[in-house]
């Protein structure tokens, strides 16, 4: 059932090229330069008339929501707010029929997300679901939706659900951007072509697995990790830290790289490994200067860099290369080495990777 892998999590990490492909198959039609998703087409007016999008989700799905905030705002120029479902439902939020709510959930059974959906509906908002489990409670409770086609995710630590959620949300954002005219047709085509190349690029990143394992072996006994990223890769930093916490029980925090100087920099010494997503597009120079600041305080840098990178390579203790892609699509490749790193550390520490302590696959309590 684990298909020859030691754990479901590893199997699911390796399934990502296929899962992403399955998620855009039939929807992304590069030759015709169209994106077809019936849940979006049937409700196009609702999407185009919405004053803003409110994303509600928990955990890793919330991180996918944060990535989508960058995509929706950047490409489709729609204001987005991303809310923890658990906070949203308990704080008397301002929400009207002019809001469009996107609820993201792998399981479709998360109690807090379900409650947030019910609240939004009671205020007259249109609610669109992005779920993996067909026929789940959230899929049934939402007004419309689009499934991720990740296949069953068994490991408690979410991996392929995250990348397929980002894929669906990217498709929606691109479709809306085209409808609104906020993206040029050449830029739009470029995105479609690049998105289609993502599965093979993810495949390539997976080849760094052995190298990631050697890095895991060096740092497996540390007590704290920091993860930094900017822009589209800030949520990836949060997600990398969450993965490490969940399965290896090592304390980790994700931060926007520029926030380092407002506090976390105080933590840095020769014992602190810092995973920095430093791909070429997206404030590269700023991230490089963050790395210099870390090195001058003797922190250990694990850089996630674009293939062929020189500058970070000279500064960092280790670099893991990922193929170049559009900045907006980069989370789909940069997140892979972070999943592998947490996986290998947890295995080396003899932790129960697929069923970490205190956690359940779907959180059906409030």
Catalytic residue numbers, as ranges: 361
Nearer to ligand M6R, 104 or 287 (CB): 104
Nearer to ligand M6R, 295 or 351 (CB): 351
Nearer to ligand M6R, 183 or 242 (CB): 242
Nearer to ligand M6R, 84 or 211 (CB): 84
Sequential DSSP letters for 156-167:
SS-SHHHHHHHH
Sequential DSSP letters for 81-132:
EEEEHHHHTTS-----TTEEEEEEESSS--HHHHHHHHHHHHTT-EEEEEES
Cβ burial of 200 (10 Å; 0-12, 13-18, 19+) is: exposed
Q: How many Å apart are CA 165 and CA 146, to the nearest integer?
A: 10
Q: State in angstroms the smallest separation of the CB of 161 from ligand M6R.
A: 6
> From the CB of residue 195, how many other CB atoms can be counted at a distance below 10 Å?
23
Ranked by CB distance to ligand M6R, the top (closest) residue is: 59
Helix (H) or strand (E) holding 322: strand 318-322
Cβ burial of 273 (10 Å; 0-12, 13-18, 19+) is: buried
Q: How many Å apart are CA 66 and CA 117, to the nearest integer?
A: 18
> From the CB of residue 199, how many other CB atoms can be counted at a distance below 10 Å?
21
Return residues touching ligand M6R (CB under 6 A).
Answer: 58-61, 105-107, 110, 113, 156-158, 246, 359, 362-363
Q: State in angstroms the smallest separation of the CB of 96 from ligand M6R.
A: 25
DSSP SS3 for 21: helix
Q: How many Å apart are CA 91 and CA 94, to the nearest integer?
A: 9
Q: How many Å apart are CA 159 and CA 336, to the nearest integer?
A: 9
Nearer to ligand M6R, 311 or 362 (CB): 362
Query: 161, 137 in Cβ contact below 8 A?
Result: no
Nearer to ligand M6R, 94 or 365 (CB): 365
Q: State in angstroms the smallest separation of the CB of 204 from ligand M6R.
A: 24
Q: State in angstroms the smallest separation of the CB of 65 from ligand M6R.
A: 10
């Amino acid at each position: 059932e684990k298909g020859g892998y030691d754990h479901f999590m590893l199997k699911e990490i390796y399934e990502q090229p296929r899962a992403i492909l399955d998620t855009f198959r039939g929807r992304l039609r590069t030759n015709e330069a169209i994106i077809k998703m019936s849940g979006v087409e049937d409700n196009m007016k609702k999407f185009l008339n919405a004053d803003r999008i409110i994303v509600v989700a928990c955990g890793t799905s919330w991180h996918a929501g944060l990535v989508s905030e960058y995509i929706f705002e950047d490409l489709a120029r729609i204001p987005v707010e991303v809310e923890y479902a658990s906070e949203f439902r308990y704080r008397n939020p301002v929400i009207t029929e002019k809001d469009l709510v996107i609820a993201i959930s792998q399981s479709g059974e998360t109690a807090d997300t379900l409650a947030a959906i019910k609240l939004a509906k009671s205020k007259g908002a249109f609610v669109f679901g992005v779920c993996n489990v067909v026929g789940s409670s959230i899929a049934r409770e939402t007004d419309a939706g689009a499934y991720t086609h990740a296949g069953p995710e068994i490991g408690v630590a979410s991996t392929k659900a995250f990348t397929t959620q980002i894929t669906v949300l990217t498709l929606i954002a691109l479709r809306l951007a085209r409808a609104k005219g906020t993206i040029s047709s050449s830029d739009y085509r470029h995105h479609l072509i690049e998105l289609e190349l993502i599965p093979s690029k993810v495949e390539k990143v997976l080849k760094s697995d052995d190298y990631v394992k050697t890095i895991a072996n060096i740092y497996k006994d540390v007590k704290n990790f920091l993860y930094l990223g900017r822009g589209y890769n800030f949520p990836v930093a949060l997600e990398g830290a969450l993965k490490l916490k969940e399965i290896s029980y090592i304390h980790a925090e994700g931060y926007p790289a520029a926030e380092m100087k407002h506090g976390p920099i105080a933590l840095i010494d020769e014992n602190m490994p810092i995973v920095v997503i430093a791909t070429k597009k997206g404030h590269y120079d700023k991230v490089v200067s963050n790395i210099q600041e870390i090195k001058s305080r003797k922190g250990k840098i694990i850089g996630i860099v674009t293939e062929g990178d020189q500058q970070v390579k000279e500064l960092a203790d280790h670099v893991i290369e990922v193929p170049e892609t559009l900045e907006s699509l980069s989370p789909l490749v940069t997140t892979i080495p972070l999943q592998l790193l947490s996986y290998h550390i947890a295995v080396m520490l003899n932790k129960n990777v697929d069923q970490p302590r205190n956690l359940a696959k779907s959180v059906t309590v409030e």
